[in-house]
Amino acid sequence: MKNPIQHQRNPEAVLQHVLELLKKAEIMDALASNQETPRQDLVQALVKRQNITALQQRLNSLHPADVAFVLESLPLEPRQIIWDLLKVEHAGAILLEVSDAVRENLIADMTSSELVGVARHLDSDEIAELVTDLPKDVVLEVLNTLDSESRLDVQSMLAFPEGSVGALMEYDLVTVREDINLDVVLRYLRRQKDHLGNAEQIFVVNREGTLRGSLALKDLLFHDPEELVIEVMNQEPFFFYTNDDAKEAASAFERYDLISAPVVNNHKQLVGRLTIDAMLDFTKEIAQKELLNQAGLNDKEDLFASIYKSAKNRWAWLAINLVTAFIASRVIGAFEETIEKLVALATLMPIIAGIGGNSGNQIVTLIIRGLALKQVHTDNIWYLLRKELSIAMINGLLWGAVMGVIAMLLYKQISLGIVMMAAMTLNLLVAACVGVFVPLIIYKLGRDPVFGSNVILTALTDSLGFFIFLGLASVFLL
Amino acid sequence: MKNPIQHQRNPEAVLQHVLELLKKAEIMDALASNQETPRQDLVQALVKRQNITALQQRLNSLHPADVAFVLESLPLEPRQIIWDLLKVEHAGAILLEVSDAVRENLIADMTSSELVGVARHLDSDEIAELVTDLPKDVVLEVLNTLDSESRLDVQSMLAFPEGSVGALMEYDLVTVREDINLDVVLRYLRRQKDHLGNAEQIFVVNREGTLRGSLALKDLLFHDPEELVIEVMNQEPFFFYTNDDAKEAASAFERYDLISAPVVNNHKQLVGRLTIDAMLDFTKEIAQKELLNQAGLNDKEDLFASIYKSAKNRWAWLAINLVTAFIASRVIGAFEETIEKLVALATLMPIIAGIGGNSGNQIVTLIIRGLALKQVHTDNIWYLLRKELSIAMINGLLWGAVMGVIAMLLYKQISLGIVMMAAMTLNLLVAACVGVFVPLIIYKLGRDPVFGSNVILTALTDSLGFFIFLGLASVFLL
């Protein structure tokens, strides 16, 4: 269990180890008792201590992804200390690995010359990824340190909109012509080894740079070196356009088990390549974002952000929900006279509203998933609505009867039980309509149904739930 | 836009095309007017029609993943027709691509001899994947058709628990010894080409089968054929144990941008390999499952399942939510006298309960995400609780004041506004505690906090919200 690979098998152990070293170095205590000295100066002063050297060595021997994990798992103060202990040549790779929220927080604390220093150790596609989070003046400085080719790469990359294939592709490419033989390719590749990176295939283009095919490196092993590229290459490689949707590209990678794919411009000229690891990072980021958005959280919410920042992050959601809750409350307000005469209604009404919300939420989830998987479309939406209405009818009558009997036994009033059952069935029918149509409409308006569907659903199932129950009660019970 | 690759760029177009062919073939109408003939016989009888031949050709020319997409996007009836039109040699690969729910549904409709026929076209790791969904007697029949080596593979694979690396690995391996030179490796590989599949590296083992290293195929291209394997191989490849958690493995693939990795048993003997596409499928499946579970849906819920089956699938969730809603309702019931005296309370109480639920839900989401990313642990849970309590205090006083003023203006009663503000602040504090601790406790009990956290949260914020508001009102307003 002593080799470094064993350690990396368990990032939590790494974190634990770093925390121990941090404690041993007594750096937190030194900081706490030296509040007037600036943190960075103090860290510099402390670096000579033996335990800190151990900590620094440990950190600089870690994979950037593991350092990123450590940084993300620490509260702001120790996070900054760890950050200050890292070598500048590792900092860039780590910045690319951390979440958006943590990156923003780390960058905010760096001087522009530090940032320029960090960028010096990155490739042009990495710089392009980082640049969107940098202050404007730093971006210019960084671009000035680049040679003209790299600068052009960064600039054209920045021109692609977020969420497009162009914004995620790599520029480092090795290309060959189709009319040469494999032996020539092999000799060429040996010279280009450094540009190959982790590529498992190279691309074949013609004189105009148009994509002609792809050549798996493996095929070079198994074919006669005298064969021509055109005889061996895949003549119909799966390719993407720069303006393709990155989400579609990710799903194509998954469907066809791709490892990498060429990216072309509108003239079918090869401009870059897309790799499975960029796709995997993108997919993970999107999933995280949707999870947070669904709960009304900003995707820049950092677990360890300051209290004030986090509180502010949640205001919009609180406000929206207060508005919808207030509307539902006014619906009840309209029936205050009814409630005064039969206070049992106030007791029972949250059951009707709540169950509509819960069932509707299930339907919303199914429809959103169906939309994301492209299984829901205008052809089958009526089929799905009919199905959900039938389910609502069955469940409303069945569970409405159960609750109706309970209400009847509690309040010794048969008509109250019947109103209860009717209201529950009606509100489940409302939930079915809302659950099917709200995500669909949001989707058709070109927005992400993950954000907003649930609020609208709850607003409607609450307000209409109260209205149906109290309305039926006013008519039939008083 | 005529070549097949263009089509696959857009699976929706494929679906549209299949639907058109289905319509042209008038197969649905024939079925509707021939309800007494069994579906399969009818499809067989219709196959000779010209339009059906076109449909069948189109289907059998598609990638299994695309056929799976088509099947998942169709209601039960046309889904079965398409299924009957597919060639048996494609059926296995397609069964592996469809979602669990659809697979179950397709298998239920097949005879055991059909299933055995389908399995004949699959590898042992694919059979192992399928076997868990097959009826017991079919499993035995399928195992009997296999040669003894494959049968052993399938059986040992089935012995690994779901969610372990062992259950996801592939058995097809090409291994070499470390003391031979690259030229020998190359000659050996040319003979083993078919076993290589899409492997980008092979593994190096000693006489006992112990993993010694990995050799990238690419390295064979760039090194002198006279060099020994041991000089060129990666001596510390990232490997997994068969009983490692598949979720951890997936996160390691992502962290270190792996394409494939060796899997060893407890004696460090090489037994299989894990590939990025298996990891990607696994990750997607888990994400889907969590999304559905969070809404209380079974992960076998199929958008096009029968009404009765879907209705039944939702009963457990409905029942749980009815119980919690009923408890909250009884809390209100205890205050019926108070409400009778001041009916405004009935109107305002859902606001207090709702806002607690919404805020708590945000905290639950953050904590669940933090737990999944291993950023939340016992060391920092108190820090997080303090932070969430502070946020609750700020937001409670701020937004409670807003709602308090509104309540005051509506009902011309200052004390009602103050009770409103106090209740909102207290319920947000309750939501903060519950939101932090409930997912953590579920996690510590070894269960997935995605399932259940929200129900418990809502039960508590509703019941306690009503109790706090109506309780304060009883004491201070009457």
Compute the C-alpha angle A69/A73/A77, nearest 5°: 120
Buried b / exposed e along A316-335 (16+ C-beta atoms within 10 A): ebbeebbebbbebbebbbeb
**A106 in Cβ contact with A84 (< 8 Å):** no
CA dihedral A275, A277, A282, A285 (to 10 degrees): 180
Sheet architecture: strand order including A175-176 = A175-176, A201-205, A211-216
Q: Where are the alpha helices (DSSP H) in B109-163?
A: 112-119, 124-131, 136-145, 148-159
Please give, rounded to a whole number of angstroms, the shortest distance from the CA of B309 to a CA of chain A.
9
**Among all chains, which residue has been given the structure tokens 């109506």?**
B470
Chain B contact for A378, CB < 8 A? Answer: no
**B247 in Cβ contact with B238 (< 8 Å):** no
Q: Which helix (H) or strand (E) holds B459?
A: helix B453-477
Buried b / exposed e along B61-98 (16+ C-beta atoms within 10 A): ebbbbbbbbbbbbbeeebbbbbbbbbeeebbbbbbbbb
pLDDT at residue A294 is higher than 70: yes
Q: What pLDDT is attached to residue B155?
A: 85
Q: How far apart are CA B314 and CA A363, in angstroms?
A: 10
A288 neighbourhood in chain B, CB within 8 Å: 369
Rounded to an integer, the average pLDDT of A99-117 is 88
Q: How far apart are CA A334 and CA A318, in angstroms?
A: 24
Q: Which of 444-473 (A) contact B at CB < 8 A?
A: 458, 462, 466
Q: Is the ipTM of this complex over 0.95?
A: no
**What is the rounded average pLDDT for all residues in chain B?**
88
Q: Tokens in use for B110?
A: 């097949």
Tell which residue, A371, A374, A363, A375, has the closest CA to residue A443: A371
Report the residue from A303, A326, A395 with minimal CB separation from B351. A326
Domain range annotation of chain B:
4-159, 175-284, 314-477
Greatest mean pLDDT range, A121-130, B312-321, B323-332: B323-332
Tell which residue, A317, A270, A341, A251, has the closest CA to residue A458: A317
Chain B contact for A380, CB < 8 A? Answer: yes
Q: How confident is the model at residue B31 (pLDDT cuts 50, 70, 90)?
A: low
Please give, rounded to a whole number of angstroms, the shortest distance from the CA of B272 to a CA of chain A.
18
Q: How confident is the model at residue A47 (pLDDT cuts 50, 70, 90)?
A: low
Architecture of domain B175-284: Roll (3.10)
**B164 in Cβ contact with B246 (< 8 Å):** yes
**B165 in Cβ contact with B239 (< 8 Å):** no
Chain A contact for B64, CB < 8 A? Answer: no
**A300 in Cβ contact with A100 (< 8 Å):** yes
Say whether A277 and B257 touch across the interface (CB within 8 A): yes
pLDDT at residue B257 is higher than 50: yes
Q: How confident is the model at residue B364 (pLDDT cuts 50, 70, 90)?
A: very high
Residue A450: phi, psi to the nearest 5?
A: -60, -35
pLDDT at residue A335 is higher than 80: yes
Chain B contact for A66, CB < 8 A? Answer: yes
Q: How far apart are CA A341 and CA B340, in angstroms?
A: 8
A330 neighbourhood in chain B, CB within 8 Å: 347
Tell which residue, B193, B226, B196, B228, has the closest CA to residue B212: B228
Distance of CA A278 to the CA centre of its chain: 13
pLDDT at residue A150 is higher than 60: yes
**Among all chains, which residue has been given the structure tokens 């956290």?**
B453
Chain B contact for A334, CB < 8 A? Answer: no
Alpha-carbon distances, residue A32 vs A37, A39, A54, A74 (angstroms): 10, 10, 21, 17
Alpha-carbon distances, residue B434 vs B166, B441, B461 (angstroms): 37, 10, 8
A69 neighbourhood in chain B, CB within 8 Å: 255, 373-374
Residue with the bigger pLDDT between B156 and A457: it is A457
pLDDT at residue A5 is higher than 50: no
Percent pLDDT > 90 in chain A is: 50
Q: How far apart are CA A435 and CA A428, in angstroms?
A: 10
- pTM, two decimal places: 0.86
Q: What pLDDT is attached to residue B457?
A: 95
Is the CA virtual torsion B405, B408, B409, B410 positive or negative? positive
Report the residue from A303, A311, A361 with minimal CB separation from B395. A311
Mutation for A interface: B343, B408, B463, most A CBs within 10 A: B343
Q: Tokens in use for A350?
A: 């949250």
Chain B contact for A336, CB < 8 A? Answer: yes
**A296 in Cβ contact with A272 (< 8 Å):** no
Buried b / exposed e along A436-467 (16+ C-beta atoms within 10 A): bbbbbebbeeeebbbebbbbbbbbbbbbbbbb
Q: What is the CATH code of the structural domain delimited by B4-159?
A: 1.25.60.10
Q: Tokens in use for A431?
A: 């939930």
Chain B contact for A372, CB < 8 A? Answer: no
Chain A contact for B318, CB < 8 A? Answer: yes
Tell which residue, B61, B111, B59, B105, has the closest CA to residue B82: B59
Q: Which of 184-203 (A) contact B at CB < 8 A?
A: 186, 189-190, 193, 196, 198, 200
pLDDT at residue B158 is higher than 80: yes
Pick the CATH number of A175-276 from 1.20.1250.20, 3.10.580.10, 2.70.98.10, 3.50.50.60: 3.10.580.10
Which positions ≥6 away from A336 have C-beta within 8 Å? B343, B344, B346, B347
Strand-pair category, B175-176 with A270-275: unpaired
Structure confidence by residue, pLDDT tens digits, B89-123: 889 999 999 988 899 889 988 888 888 889 888 88
Q: How far apart are CA A34 and CA A81, in angstroms?
A: 14
Secondary structure (H, E, C), chain A: CCCHHHHHCCHHHHHHHHHHHHHHCCHHHHHHHCCCCCHHHHHHHHCCCHHHHHHHHHHHCCCHHHHHHHHHCCCHHHHHHHHHHCCHHHHHHHHHHCCHHHHHHHHHCCCHHHHHHHHCCCCHHHHHHHHCCCCHHHHHHHHHHCCHHHHHHHHHHHHCCCCEHHHHCECCCCEECCCCEHHHHHHHHHHHHHHHCCCCEEEEECCCCEEEEEEEHHHHHHCCCCCEHHHHCECCCCCEECCCEHHHHHHHHHHHCCCEEEEECCCCEEEEEEEHHHHHHHHHHHHHHHHHHHCCCCCCCCCCCCHHHHHHHCHHHHHHHHHHHHHHHHHHHCCHHHHHHCCHHHHHHHHHHHHHHHHHHHHHHHHHHHHHCCCCCCCCHHHHHHHHHHHHHHHHHHHHHHHHHHHHHHHCCHHHHHHHHHHHHHHHHHHHHHHHHHHHHHHHCCCCCCCCHHHHHHHHHHHHHHHHHHHHHHHHHC
Sheet architecture: strand order including B175-176 = B175-176, B201-205, B211-216
Say whether A218 and B238 touch across the interface (CB within 8 A): no
Q: What pLDDT is attached to residue B175?
A: 94
Please give, rounded to a whole number of angstroms, the shortest distance from the CA of A58 to a CA of chain B.
18
**Among all chains, which residue has been given the structure tokens 């205890």?**
B334
A310 neighbourhood in chain B, CB within 8 Å: 387, 391
Burial of B147 per CB tally in 10 Å (0-12, 13-18, 19+): exposed
CATH topology for A314-477 is Tetracycline Repressor; domain 2 (1.10.357)
Rounded to an integer, the average pLDDT of B162-185 is 91
Structure confidence by residue, pLDDT tens digits, A158-178: 888 888 999 899 888 899 999
CA dihedral A378, A381, A382, A386 (to 10 degrees): 180
pLDDT at residue B64 is higher than 80: yes
Determine if residue B380 is left, alpha or beta; phi over 0 gives left, psi from -120 to 50 gives alpha, anything else beta: alpha
Architecture of domain A4-161: Alpha Horseshoe (1.25)
pLDDT at residue A126 is higher than 50: yes
Q: What pLDDT is attached to residue A19?
A: 84
Q: How confident is the model at residue A4 (pLDDT cuts 50, 70, 90)?
A: very low
pLDDT at residue B2 is higher than 80: no
Chain B contact for A170, CB < 8 A? Answer: no
Q: How far apart are CA B111 and CA A246, in angstroms?
A: 41
pLDDT at residue A440 is higher than 50: yes
Percent pLDDT > 90 in chain B is: 50
Q: How far apart are CA A436 and CA A453, in angstroms?
A: 10
Determine if residue B419 is left, alpha or beta; phi over 0 gives left, psi from -120 to 50 gives alpha, anything else beta: alpha
Distance of CA A139 to the CA centre of its chain: 25
Say whether B343 and A344 touch across the interface (CB within 8 A): no
Please give, rounded to a whole number of angstroms, the shortest distance from the CA of B207 to a CA of chain A.
23
